[in-house]
Structure 1
Amino acid sequence: MSPSHRYEIEGCEVIWAIKDDSIGNTFFDRGAAEFFLPHLTAGKCEENKPLKRLKYTVTESSSDSPKKGDTAMGGALGPDWKDGWRMKGKHDQAAHRVQVEYQCEVQEVLTREEFTRTGQTAECFPGTSRAEEQNDDWPVYVLLTNKRLYGCDFVVSATGVVPSTGPFLHNDQFSVAPDGGLRVDDHMHTSVPDVYAAGDVCTASWEPAPQWFQMRLWSQARQMGSYAAKCMVADRDGEDIDMDFCFELFAHVTKFFNYKIVLLGRYNAQGLGKDYELLLRCTKGLEYVKVVLQAGRMQGAVLIGDTDLEETFENLIVNGMDLSPYGEDLLDPNIDIEDYFD
């Protein structure tokens, strides 16, 4: 589960084990993590806004003689999988309780029988006494690398994305990148003629734009898939097409704890070495803005909350405008920079 989905679940206790020293480490620095921490146990704000993302449906095959094992396949879950689900546990409390175990991983998952044979005692949820514990007999137990042992109803494991290229590697025709993905060029061609790849299974092997990098996210996979389709049609018709604009700038929009999140460019200074500076603006409970500058030019940004700065910052990053004369005034809340740079 993402931090946002932990926030959505009510009436439950959650043990969150992470290998890093702050939450959301893939996306945020420690400053942004501190901004979100109070929301781990806060009640959620109900919203019934219409979804703006495309919706897809999948139907069973209409073939009169389907092959054995055929099933309808769907797309990636995306951020909206939980809509329509009742996200509430059995506890009476309206909110939820979350215990974060930092810098550790799951060492072992034990069944009830395996746990009994160890002769150990499971820890109570932090802040709960043994008398208050509603269940001493759990269906599964988890031993963490920090030696803490917890009983729980179920385990959700988030282990990242690994390219699943096994079915394609029965011969040596495909060129494979060090991360295990199929190498593709700037028109999504693999090393095998007339075979294209897009999404998590591939590795972008062209010289990327300065503010773009591959990150195996559902949004980027969708962009790659759309662009690959255009490349196939262009190749069939013998036409040349330019690389899609989405590969000019890394951009990802999502929600954490009901806050709008916009990540732009080298938002965590990826690949910039140590020669960069950060500008920060934070209003507790309202917004968090981080800008990455190098040689006076904006290289990336993290926008949390309704900042209305994404379009302006996107243009500043792509245009490479020298922002040195503005200094810290760039994030002055009393200056409408959206209007200024329009």
Structure 2
Amino acid sequence: MKQATFVIVGGGIAGVSCAEGISFLAPDESIIIISASPMVKKVTNIRNLTKMLSEFSVEERSSNQVFEEFPNVIILHDTVVGLDHENCLLSLASGETVQYERLCICSGAYPKLIGNNPHIVGIRDTDSVQEFQKRLSKSKKVVIVGNGGIATELVHETSGVEIVWVIKDKHISATFIDPGAAEFFQSRLKKGDTTEEENEERTTVKRIKYTVDEGKASQGAALGPDWHTKANLQGLLESSNVSLEYSCEVKNVLDGDAAWPVYVELTNGKLVGCDMIVSATGVVPNVDVFKGCGVAVSDDGGLKVNWKMQTSLENVYAAGDACSVGWDLAPQWFQMRLWTQARHMGTYTAKSMVCDIRGEELLQDFCFELFTHSTKLFGMKVVLLGLFNGQTLDDSYEILLRVTKGVEYVKVILKDGRMQGAVLIGDTDLEEMCENLILNQLDLSSFGEDLLNPDIDIEDYFD
């Protein structure tokens, strides 16, 4: 039997950030990480855009590389098959047992596939991207199902193939943007609409690097930002075309014939033949092995945690995609299973566990005061702040817009004259101002539409 003060399940961003946080706060305490994959995710090159908003690189490395500078960390390449929380014991697939004083479950999530068919591919980790590339190189037509970040990136980055994009909403990329921003991006669905600068960016690995050193992962951690940068997403055709099927879902997946290997029956009555179906319809928390222990589970399938990231089981914590927050949230923050939140949660949980062991007071991290996320959609920088789509405001809010076709899209959400959220697309340089105005909740009624007037430097008023 192995034992450690802190045991972490999972080698994704939440798990690695948690381990690094504990190593910094308690370098003399023992840490064991249990990862099914020899590859783990490490955050590097953190660049703070504002006090709360940051960009960072994600590198996929062998676990030995990541933790070679932390002598108190032991890596076990194994899978958890059981938890005895009364005796603080984990059972592993190898037959080994691990005893802990504090346990953090960072087991992530797995793709929510639309069906069980050999022609359905889910994009989740490095192995699934390689499988997608292999199939795409032999494809003329693919159906992409989903409307989140992965689906949007696939539609924009894939070339040499006919794409049928099936979305359940009335506009594209509804996970992140509103119908106005969707219209702003509409022209970028046309292949060949990218600039030389964007094409150059695609050849440069900006954030994620694949450096597989030790065999193949059985279930790797989720892909990070810019996962497609070095992937060759090229089909058989010389040109590309994207057609959209709005407000519908997959009703059935049917066997193929001489014309197409597989058919997709949609709820709008259409039957679409294709070479491959890409299921990008979200994820499900990967916590099934822990549910038999009596742990509280949220409606979305995640392990319910309080503001200290503690589950309902004593000495057991959870972070990242595996957890669901169960405390009274700050007005402009909500949970979204994103890399930024996985990093925040992992680091904060490390502090919480160390404080618990030492009997020290814990204060909730300021990152839970404001939702922040920076990403790219259709090759453009996108910053999301606060209640960026009016979440929780019950349609009782005002919207201010500033749009320059092909250059920028700025939307701010106001309620009772106070800014609640913002969507900033392009190089707007408004991140810091909007963040401060949301946090400070200043009454902006006197500015009216001049708040977004490019000829007026609003920041001068708040210096």
Corresponding residue for residue 171 of structure 2: 22
| 1:61-210 mapped onto 2 (5 Å cutoff) | 74-93=220-239, 96-112=240-256, 116=257, 137-172=259-294, 174-210=295-331
- How far residue 57 of structure 1 moved from its aligned partner, in angstroms, is 6.2
TM-score between the two structures when normalised by the length of structure 1: 0.84
Give the whole-Å Cα distance in 2 for the aligned partners of 1:57 and 1:186. Answer: 36
Question: Is 2:262–2:275's contact at 8 Å kept on the other side of the alignment?
Answer: yes
Give the RMSD, CA atoms, in angstroms: 2.2
Question: Is 1:336 aligned to residue 457 of structure 2?
Answer: yes
| Aligned mates of 2:232, 2:411 — CA distance in 1 | 35
Q: Does the CA-based 8 Å contact 1:186-1:204 persist in structure 2?
A: yes
Does the 8 A contact of 2:208 with 2:225 survive in 1?
no
* Same amino acid, percent of matched pairs: 57
CA 1:87–1:186 in structure 2 vs 1: closer, same or farther (change >3 Å)? Answer: same
Structure 2 residue corresponding to 1:12, chosen from 161, 174, 178: 161
Match in the other structure for 1:234: 355
Instruction: Give SS of 1:271's match.
Output: coil
Q: Where does structure 1 lack aligned partners over 5 or more consecutive residues?
A: 62-69, 117-135
Report the equivalent of 1:221. Answer: 342
Task: Report the CA distance shift for 1:324/1:225 in structure 2 as closer, same or farther (over 3 A).
Answer: same
Rounded to whole Å, the distance in 1 between the matches of 2:352 and 2:234 is: 45
Answer yes or no: is the 8 Å Cα contact 1:292–1:300 preserved in 2: yes
Q: How far does residue 111 in structure 1 lie from its aligned partner after superposition?
A: 2.3
Q: Distance in 2 between matches of 1:12 and 1:57?
A: 28
In structure 2, how many angstroms separate the alpha carbons of the residues matched to 1:275 and 1:168? 40
* 1:24-71, Cα deviation, whole Å (9 max, x unpaired): 11211111111111110132330338666576867659xxxxxxxx95
- Looking at structure 1, the residues matched to 327 and 205 of structure 2 have their Cα atoms a distance apart, in angstroms, of 34
Q: Cα–Cα, structure 1 residues 331 and 150, in superposed 2: closer, same or farther, change >3 Å? A: same
TM-aligned CA deviation for residue 225 of structure 1? 1.5
- C-alpha displacement of 1:218: 2.6
**Does the 8 Å CA contact 2:205/2:229 hold for their aligned counterparts?**
no
SS of the aligned residue for 2:432 comes to helix
CA separation of 1:11 and 1:71: change in aligned 2, threshold 3 A: closer
| Contact persistence 1:252–1:262 (CA under 8 A) | yes
Amino acid paired to 1:322: D
User: How far did 1:215 drift?
Assistant: 1.3
Contact 2:159–2:191 (Cα < 8 Å) also in 1: no
Cα contact 1:22–1:30 (8 A) shared by 2: yes
- CA contact 1:60–1:72 (8 Å) conserved in 2: no
Q: In 2, distance between residues paired with 1:198 and 1:107?
A: 34
SS at match of 2:410: strand
What code does the residue aligned with 2:158 have?
I
Indicate if the aligned counterparts of 1:109 and 1:140 stay in contact, CA closer than 8 A: yes
In 2: Cα distance, 1:192 partner to 1:154 partner: 43
Partner of 2:395: 274
Q: Secondary structure at the match of 1:46?
A: helix
Distance in 2 between the 1:276 and 1:336 partners? 24
TM-score w.r.t. length of structure 2: 0.63
Q: Secondary structure at the match of 1:291?
A: strand
Change (3 A) 1:182 1:152: same
1:188 maps to a residue whose letter is M
1:132 alignment counterpart? none
Counterpart Cα distance in 2 of 1:53 and 1:234: 32
Count of matched residue pairs: 309
Distance (whole Å) between structure 2 residues aligned to residue 48 and residue 199 of structure 1: 29
Contact 1:141/1:149 (CA < 8 Å) preserved in 2?
yes
User: 2:201 aligned with 1:48, yes or no?
Assistant: yes
Kindly provide the amino acid, as one letter, of the partner of residue 218 in structure 1: W
- Cα deviation for residue 166 of structure 1 reads 1.8
The amino acid across from 2:397 in the alignment is Y
